[in-house]
Amino acid sequence: MGGELKEYSTSTVSWILAIQSFVLVFGGIIVGPLFDILGPKPLLIPGILLLIIGVMTTSVASEYYQFILAQGICTGLGGSLIFNTTVGALSTWFVKRRATAVGIMTSGAAIGGTILPIIFRRIEAAHGFSQGVRAVGYLLAGLSVFVCFAISSRTKPPGWKHANFYQTYVKPFRWLPYTTVTAAVFFVYFGAYIPLNYVPQYARNEAQFSSTMASYLASVQNGASTIGRIVPGILADRLGRYNVFTVCTVIAGILTLTLWIPANSHAVVIAYAALYGLFAGPTMSLFVAMIGEIVPVQHVGARLGATSAVVSFASLCGVPLAGGLLGANHDKYWAMAVFSALCMFMAAFLAFLTKLMVTDRQWRSVK
């Protein structure tokens, strides 16, 4: 995409991914209740079609608005249908081991984030941007066939019924624990994606990485995140979902302050990328089990959708805001790193506060 949009600034190009993330997450406000009504299959098939169409049209895009429509909106909407449906279906099958199940499921995103950039870079170097994107699209299309057959729900969908906006989207927030856990997820999404998006750029500009080596840092982050989603998920089912989320979020913030800000060598940058992926990974997957733990199973889809609607604005604004901080500080990265860490600390505080509320202030409880 860099060659096709080389006349645009990094901040402007980042809005494409920000819009994609916003649509993916905000789509949960519609997909969640639809899942509770229709079940998974009527949502998975159109989601897969939109995802593949978005990827394939991205391969032939050349103008900024075309990338917005293809990658930002079409791919984002398809991803929202697939992700929210899959999470909703999984939550109906698991209760005691829900965090483990969600961790294993979301590790697929981390594995994809590790492998797909390498595949794309190799094919792009040999055959160009369009062929690299199409190769990823063909791979996703093949894997999607398995998804259609593998995903099902334990509960039988009731079919179409009258939707009550107040009952679905407003009333849940009158219960304070649900509001605070949603706020915790909001701050995670506000801060956690900043290092994931800007560390490769930092490596090129401040640590003398080559462009190729810097691009592989995304694979390092996602590779570590694979472990960071599975192992903490297993621990969360034994030690408490809120406990593990709080600890991992605090560690991710500390790593950002102590490793990213002073990093000036290849070894330190790579170590930070790996460790951050390890501890930030569970912060973006455990929230599904955290919400599922405090709401009735028949309302999981709608509650996750309502949370997604709030969190989507963090996905939209977090990375571009970090870009603004970068420009305001004369291309110095310390301000965005501090902002990211503060967001993670706030998320940890709100998650711990939620735990205290749902356990009657038993701070040592397994929750």
Residue 296: predicted pLDDT: 73
Whole-number Å distance between alpha carbons of 329 and 247:
31
Contact (CB, 8 A) for 39 and 92: no
Whole-number Å distance between alpha carbons of 6 and 52:
25
Contact (CB, 8 A) for 55 and 66: no
Q: To which residue do tokens 């992926």 refer?
A: 277
Q: How many CB atoms lie within 10 A of CB 129?
A: 18
| Count of H-run helices and E-run strands, the chain | 16, 0
Spacing of C-alpha 1 from chain mean position: 21
Length of the chain: 367
Residue 121: predicted pLDDT: 81
**Tokens coding 79:** 């991803």
Residue 11: predicted pLDDT: 65
Contact (CB, 8 A) for 49 and 103: no
Per-residue pLDDT of the chain (367 residues; tens, 9 = 90+): 555 666 776 667 777 877 888 888 788 778 877 877 787 888 888 999 999 999 999 888 888 888 899 988 999 899 888 888 887 787 778 777 777 887 787 777 778 777 887 888 888 888 888 888 898 888 888 888 888 788 877 777 666 666 666 767 777 788 899 999 999 999 998 888 889 888 888 888 888 888 778 878 888 888 888 888 888 888 888 888 899 999 999 999 999 999 998 888 888 999 999 999 899 888 877 888 888 788 776 677 678 778 888 888 887 788 778 888 888 888 888 999 999 999 999 999 999 999 988 877 665 565 5
Whole-number Å distance between alpha carbons of 247 and 254:
11
Record: fold of 10-156+171-357: Growth Hormone; Chain: A; (1.20.1250)
Strands (E), 207-291: none
**Tokens coding 59:** 């391969």
Long-range (24+ apart) CB contacts under 8 A made by 212-215 are 212/121, 215/117, 215/121
In this prediction the pTM is 0.79
Q: Which amino acid is at 330?
A: H
Q: How many CB atoms lie within 10 A of CB 101?
A: 19
